[in-house]
A = this chain, B = another copy of it.
Amino acid sequence: MKRIISITVLALLAQYAAAQAPLYASVDPFIGAGGEGHIFVGPAAPFGMAKPGPDCKGHSNSGYNVDKQVPLLGFSQTHVSGTGGGPKYGNIQIMPFSGDFDAIYQESARGEEIAQTAYYSVLLEKWKIKAALTTADRATFYRFIFGQKGKKAIKLDAGFFLGEPTTPDPDAREAQQFVGSEVSVTGSNEIRGYTRIRGGFNNGAAYTVYFSAVFDHPFSNFSTWKDQQLFPGKQVQFDSGEKTGAIAYFDAASGDTIQVKIGISFISEEKASYNLDQEIPDWQFNRVLATTQQKWEKLLNRIEIDHSATKEQRIMFYTGLYHTMLMPVDRTGENPLWISNEPYYDDFYAIWDTFRSSNPLITLVSPSREVDIINSLLNIYHRDNYMPDARSGNCNGRTQGGSNADVLIADAYVKGLQGIDYNKGLQAMLKNADVPPGDNEEKEGRGGLPDYNTLGYVSTRFPRAGTRTVEYAYNDYCIATVAKGLQQDRLYERFLKQSDNWQNLWRPYENNGANGFILPKDQNGRWVDTIDCNVLNAPYKQIQYNPLAVDYPNCVCWWCAFFYEASSWEYSLYVPHDVKTLISKSGGEEAFKKRLDIFFNNKYYNVSNEPSFLTPNLYHWIGRPDLSSTRIHLIIDSSYNTSAAGLPGNDDSGAMSSWLDFHMMGLFPNAGQSYYLITAPYFTRTVIHQENGKDFSIIAHNLSKKNTYIRSVKLNGLNYDKSWLEHQDIVNGGELVLEMGDKAGTWGTQVRPPSK
């Protein structure tokens, strides 16, 4: 009887499961793995330290190459996702093989590749080995099924890292450089060791990744290697500044399947072993897989979209949410630099990319996580001198433009996140604003500060002068915001005034139908029209600078351009705190509309570049939220899809993905400020199940392919004329009901979103 009931229950559960497919099944890790997306395709836990995945020949920064013709070299335990610039990590590479046992280098063609949430598998065609991967937070799990008879081998390479040049160049910019490695065969089925690497994306100091790899069968014998020479049976290769590794061999008694689990740590081999024991005490591949899947499910479940979503939209949306939570990485307890009770996060790639939408999306899904991330930044400031813009391998480095961690502090403050010492936050922001970082202005803080704090702009004697000036102005607005809240009136006044500094580079200048641009000015206050090229073999000696000019790569180095990764057309629309004044300086609302139209129609807009993330929404400030919606939907429909190249540009730690997700919900944050701009959503109902237990729903009545215009809005049953929504309204729970129609109405036309 009992048994019959159980079976009935199970049957019911199975039926329920079929109806309610888990959300993690809607994640497709291959989206953005091709093109410029640089998405990591291997398994990962949310914000997880371990990211085991395939490393291909000619790989992108994620280790992966979507071109199936390119062979696979192995699976390393650490990766980043979506990044540009130089590669980082790719440490401790494992590779099964059954061919030439005397060769350290191994590669195989790939077949039958599958990537799902927390799961990756591939057939190594050369030897018919099927490799399946899953992972916990700090330990990885491999199942290798050997399809050919004969001896089986698995190598662990402690010397491998991503982006190694054929000829090592210790002076190469953003290149990882080998420092040391070690391996020990510590038992009949365990190999330990570490790799020590410096440089990479952030030109950082040396970091060390320790590992303990445990196999489910004893080795029949083994070799270790140093500097390309194999030593059969030698247990230890100590670190003498050369590459080391180990090969474990298995005989027929081991059967066809060998499983390996690898704990990693940035602290020690013993800590790596501890991490492994804590997270993967047994050999249950499916248990590890299910645990990590459930971690994702819990987070993905925070935003529910209804049946109106097409399958493709559902995949795009949840994959976007997944991308947003791959980094930064929770390394609490794994900081080799200091001990602290604060959380510790690493791999900020970069806050310049993520502050606009990735962090705000994390704040919506899991505000406690965002609090941890910000407290980690404040702890880094406290012990390591500055909050990072970018950080990786326990080292700040590669500040893109402004000191945009400031925006995160302000964003948390205005959204009322609890558990953050905002006085300390203000100190950390003031450090950025007042103390030049010195020698290496890419490392942290504000480069060009001596100019900015005396002239009110960064002059052309500093790289990225335009980017820096306009971003510092907004960062200053963020400082003013927090200072005001903390009743620091003098600071508030100072920084509010400084937030106008973008105007010091505003030059009346006509270009392609628009007037007024942020343009370069020298230290003596003279506009700079001609830029002397300094790049070796530049095609020109000088170039004329104008709002469409791209000084890199034709003239100056990547980092030396006036605007980082952008033109003046793009950056001259970046005044997130004072769009009203921007409109006025551009000639009023009519001229501004024309300017935006030209910008988008002439493709001066670059969908893949973060500085323009807010620009499609600027129509809101001239009372035309309908035009914002139209632009945004055009962009999504033309630039995003579920293919491997379905993300525009590098995903940049979820930046592109979170931009998409917000807009699919019909909201977009102006990070550092307390509101979201409202546009037409993609779904008839989106429910945000908040950490505080309160639901907030966005409902679009009569939404259809034809009815894409918001005619009227009600918030919690009351008419709502504003085209923006306060974060507090979401926190309180409730519903925003949009009445959709086939043309624009008067909603949102009468009042304008906030300006300074």
Stretch at the interface among A346-354, A430-438, A575-583, A730-738: A430-438
- In the complex, what distance in Å separates the CA atom of A240 from the CA atom of B274? 10
Of all chain B residues, which has the CB nearest A242? B339
- In the complex, what distance in Å separates the CA atom of A373 from the CA atom of B411? 50
A271 contact set on B, CB distance < 8 A? 182, 238-240
Whether A336 lies near B437 (C-beta < 8 A) is: no
Of all chain B residues, which has the CB nearest A170? B338
Whether B241 lies near A194 (C-beta < 8 A) is: no
CB-defined interface of A237-272 with B at 8 Å, one 1/0 digit per residue? 011110000000000000000000000000110110
CB-defined interface of A93-115 with B at 8 Å, one 1/0 digit per residue? 00000000000000000000000
Query: A444: shortest Cβ distance to chain B, in Å?
Result: 8
Query: A72: shortest Cβ distance to chain B, in Å?
Result: 29
Interface residues of A in 310-354 (CB under 8 A from B): 333, 336-340
Whether A180 lies near B267 (C-beta < 8 A) is: yes
A270 contact set on B, CB distance < 8 A? 182, 184, 236, 238-239
Residue in A194, A206, A435, A445 whose Cβ sees the most chain B Cβ within 10 Å: A206
Residue A205, interface by CB 8 Å: yes
Q: A270-B236, A438-B437, A450-B450 are in contact. Are A179 and B338 (CB under 8 A)?
A: yes
A590 contact set on B, CB distance < 8 A? none
Query: A159: shortest Cβ distance to chain B, in Å?
Result: 12
Chain A count of residues within 8 A CB distance of the other chain: 42
Q: A339-B180, A437-B438 are in contact. Are A238 and B205 (CB under 8 A)?
A: no
Residue A696, interface by CB 8 Å: no
**Cross-chain contact of A337 among B184, B194, B198, B337 (Cβ < 8 A):** B198
Whether B436 lies near A179 (C-beta < 8 A) is: no
- In the complex, what distance in Å separates the CA atom of A184 from the CA atom of B270? 9
Of all chain B residues, which has the CB nearest A436? B438
- In the complex, what distance in Å separates the CA atom of A268 from the CA atom of B236? 12
Residue A196, interface by CB 8 Å: yes
CB-defined interface of A396-437 with B at 8 Å, one 1/0 digit per residue? 000000000000000000000000000000000001000111
**Cross-chain contact of A238 among B179, B182, B208, B273 (Cβ < 8 A):** B273
Whether A274 lies near B238 (C-beta < 8 A) is: yes
Whether B339 lies near A241 (C-beta < 8 A) is: yes
A438 contact set on B, CB distance < 8 A? 435-440, 445
Residue A385, interface by CB 8 Å: yes
- In the complex, what distance in Å separates the CA atom of A339 from the CA atom of B333? 28
Residue A177, interface by CB 8 Å: yes
Residue A569, interface by CB 8 Å: no
Whether B179 lies near A385 (C-beta < 8 A) is: no
Residue A562, interface by CB 8 Å: no
Residue A474, interface by CB 8 Å: no
Whether A198 lies near B238 (C-beta < 8 A) is: no
Query: A173: shortest Cβ distance to chain B, in Å?
Result: 14
A180 contact set on B, CB distance < 8 A? 267-268, 336, 339
Whether B386 lies near A439 (C-beta < 8 A) is: yes
Interface residues of A in 159-204 (CB under 8 A from B): 170, 177-180, 182, 184, 194, 196, 198
Interface residues of A in 560-615 (CB under 8 A from B): none
**Cross-chain contact of A436 among B170, B196, B439 (Cβ < 8 A):** B439
CB-defined interface of A356-395 with B at 8 Å, one 1/0 digit per residue? 0000000000000000000000000001011000000000
Of all chain B residues, which has the CB nearest A186? B186
Whether A205 lies near B337 (C-beta < 8 A) is: yes
- In the complex, what distance in Å separates the CA atom of A435 from the CA atom of B437? 11
Binding site for B on A (CB under 8 A): 170, 177-180, 182, 184, 194, 196, 198, 205-206, 208, 236, 238-241, 267-268, 270-271, 273-274, 333, 336-340, 383, 385-386, 431, 435-440, 445, 450
13 pairs, CB–CB < 8 Å, chain A vs chain B: A170-B340, A170-B383, A177-B338, A179-B336, A180-B336, A182-B271, A194-B268, A238-B271, A239-B271, A386-B439, A435-B439, A438-B438, A438-B439
Q: Which 7 A-B pairs have the closest CB atoms?
A: A438-B438, A238-B270, A241-B339, A437-B438, A238-B274, A239-B268, A206-B337
